[in-house]
Structure 1
Amino acid sequence: MNPTSTAAAHTLDVPGAQLHYEVRGEGPLVVLVGAPMDAAAFAPLAELLAADHTVLTTDPRGHQDSVLDDPEQDSTPQLRADDVARLIANLGIGPAVVFGSSGGAASALALAESRPDLVTTVIAHEPPLGELLDDRDRVRANTEDMIATYRTGDVVGAWRKFMANANIQMPEPVLQQMFGGEREPRQLASERYWFGHELHGTVTWAPNSAVLQSTPARIIIGIGADSTDQLCDRTSRALGTAIGVTPTIFPGGHTGFVEDAAAFAARLREVLAATS
């Protein structure tokens, strides 16, 4: 944890896992969730929001300090939604605004379906919902191919296929620098779990559009300003069409909250103020 962090770290036992979570600030509850992104990735944004909110972040099950009873258990949006529901209930200060990014956006949508009593607003930022696309068969096949490639030990090759499928341009030297050679063991363990047990169950999950349309929670679909024509831009717009919600633009790309936490926090505050 950053030595200047205001976070208090805790653990919570849930079915099949022990979750690591962090709490900052005081005020209305905001939950920031990713998958596979962990609490550390959200720390700069959480510190900014903690000026006037209680902010909860967590390592998703199977990543970093959230340890599984069975390391071979698959992770799904529904399981992660149940984890978030238990974290909110444990704090006892809900209902919450839940911001989910990427696989965490799928978790947040599943939470809105299963426990709408625990959320006031769900912001699904670039959920990778490939099943909503017309070319879902191609996207699914590409996902299976990259997972198979990773299992052969070709880590860089798997990430190369991932970036191509996501339509994210990454120069080969950057790809090699990020995913080749020696890397931190915990990062590698998280990566192995994501490819082996989380990626498939996340991108092949489809939300229940009728339930999301009828939920009392506000559903906001976020798209990065720099994500045009990327896979998650397309899936987010497809979700918007399915549930009748016009997507909201946020700064940066798929990980805009990491790229410029201050700009992202300012935009997030604007969006929440406009929907309150």
Structure 2
Amino acid sequence: MATTHTLETDGAQIAYDVHGELPTADGTPPLMMIGQPMDASGFTALASHFPERTVVTYDPRGMSRSTRSDGLVTNDPEVQAGDIHAVIEAVGGPVDLFASSGGAVSALALVTAYPEDVRTLVAHEPPLVGVLPDAEAARRATTTFQEVYATRGWGAGMAAFMAMSNWQGPFTDEYFAQSVPDPAQFGLPTQDDGSRDDPLLSDRSEAITTYRPDVAALQAAPTRIVLAHGTESAEVMMARGAQAVAALLGQESVEFPSHHGGFSAEDAQWPGQAGAFAVRLREVLTSGA
């Protein structure tokens, strides 16, 4: 059974859910799951596979149930780190933390600013453009789908994003020579609804993709940091980000089942392998593999 709570942070009211009891009966840290741009609902399937753990999820500021009063629409990993820290304090941290996509970037900022908050961090496919060997081309690729969104709307922008996020390996001249895919081929709307506020397709999350990890601070933190990528997505930009950060930390990124959203339910719109993913996550958390 989950209970929902709210807390005030600097410029936001944050909603979070606790699946299980606090404090935990055996003293095991809560297992927190975060994403960006993804709210707590994105972790429903994965959380269900951890009945033995108290699981904490949250909605980032400005998403779903979490509101903001700072007058901004941008998503900054260092600001979000402060929100996550507040949730961890509220649940009696430290926590073990599974963080995916932009959430993994915020998690790296969290460990940098609050190194005592997290016992083990599993950072899954952080979309960090600047750490890639082809950083300049990767930045151009992200700018391209943002421009498509700005000029043609959500369906076309999402189709362009999907083409970028599924590209295998470094971004080459071959990638940039492609035409923008037809959104209809992905089952996406072809009409422009006029909105331009999508946090994934606009420049609102640029602070996430351009974030530079503080390698010295991460190495000095007591947190055990594990970078992770999917077996099916190993050559795409986000997974290459995990591998690049791992290399900066003197590690290798570990493999998880499936793809960038591999923790999703097997019957989700974009099916994942939540069961197998949970097995691997439990293994990493408990055995250090």
Q: Mark yes or no: TM-score above 0.5.
A: yes
* 1:240 corresponds to: 246
Aligned residue identity for 1:63: M
Q: What CA RMSD, in Å, does the superposition of the two structures yield over aligned residues?
A: 2.3
Distance 1:182 1:143 in 2: 20
Bigger mean CA offset, 134-143 vs 144-153: 144-153
Bigger mean CA offset, 67-76 vs 231-240: 67-76
* 1:53 corresponds to: 53
Pairwise CA distance, 1:113: 0.7
Offset from partner CA, 1:21-40 (integer Å, 9 cap, x none): 11101332111000001100
2:288 aligned with 1:275 = yes
1:138–1:274: structure 2 CA closer, same or farther, 3 Å change rule? Answer: same
CA contact (8 A) 1:62 1:193 kept: no
* 1:35 corresponds to: 36
CA contact (8 A) 1:156 1:175 kept: no
Distance 1:41 1:180 in 2: 26
Pairwise CA distance, 1:263: 1.2
Pairwise CA distance, 1:15: 0.9
Distance 1:264 1:22 in 2: 21
CA contact (8 A) 2:13 2:67 kept: yes
State the SS of the aligned residue for 1:273.
helix
Aligned residue identity for 1:203: T
Distance 2:167 2:20 in 1: 35
State the SS of the aligned residue for 2:263.
helix
* 1:21 corresponds to: 16
Distance 2:114 2:185 in 1: 39
CA contact (8 A) 2:75 2:206 kept: no
2:106 aligned with 1:107 = yes
1:182–1:146: structure 2 CA closer, same or farther, 3 Å change rule? Answer: closer
Pairwise CA distance, 1:174: 6.5
Pairwise CA distance, 1:198: 3.5
Q: Which 5+ residue runs of structure 2 have no aligned equivalent?
A: 169-180, 265-271
Distance 1:65 1:202 in 2: 21
* 1:266 corresponds to: 279
Distance 2:162 2:85 in 1: 32
CA contact (8 A) 1:144 1:200 kept: no
* Larger gyration radius, structure 1 or structure 2: 2
Offset from partner CA, 1:251-275 (integer Å, 9 cap, x none): 1100110012211111111111112
Out of 199, 222, 232, which is 2:228 matched to? 222
2:176 aligned with 1:177 = no
| Count of residues in correspondence between the two structures | 263
Distance 1:218 1:56 in 2: 19
Pairs within 5 Å for 1:167-206 = 167-168=166-167, 176-178=186-188, 180=190, 192-196=198-202, 198-206=204-212
* 1:137 corresponds to: 136
* 2:146 corresponds to: 147
CA contact (8 A) 1:32 1:57 kept: yes
Bigger mean CA offset, 94-103 vs 206-215: 206-215
Distance 1:25 1:180 in 2: 43
Distance 2:191 2:274 in 1: 29
1:180–1:57: structure 2 CA closer, same or farther, 3 Å change rule? Answer: farther
Distance 1:147 1:224 in 2: 25
Pairwise CA distance, 1:208: 0.9
Pairwise CA distance, 1:173: 6.3
Pairwise CA distance, 1:167: 2.7
Aligned residue identity for 2:79: L
Aligned residue identity for 1:77: P
State the SS of the aligned residue for 1:232.
helix
Aligned residue identity for 1:75: N
CA contact (8 A) 1:72 1:197 kept: no
Pairwise CA distance, 1:239: 0.8
Offset from partner CA, 1:200-234 (integer Å, 9 cap, x none): 11111110111112211000001111112111121
* 1:91 corresponds to: 91
Bigger mean CA offset, 114-123 vs 259-268: 259-268
Pairwise CA distance, 1:196: 3.7
Bigger mean CA offset, 206-215 vs 125-134: 206-215
**Taking every aligned residue pair, what percent have the same amino acid on both sides?**
37
Pairwise CA distance, 1:105: 0.5
1:71–1:13: structure 2 CA closer, same or farther, 3 Å change rule? Answer: same
Distance 2:184 2:245 in 1: 31
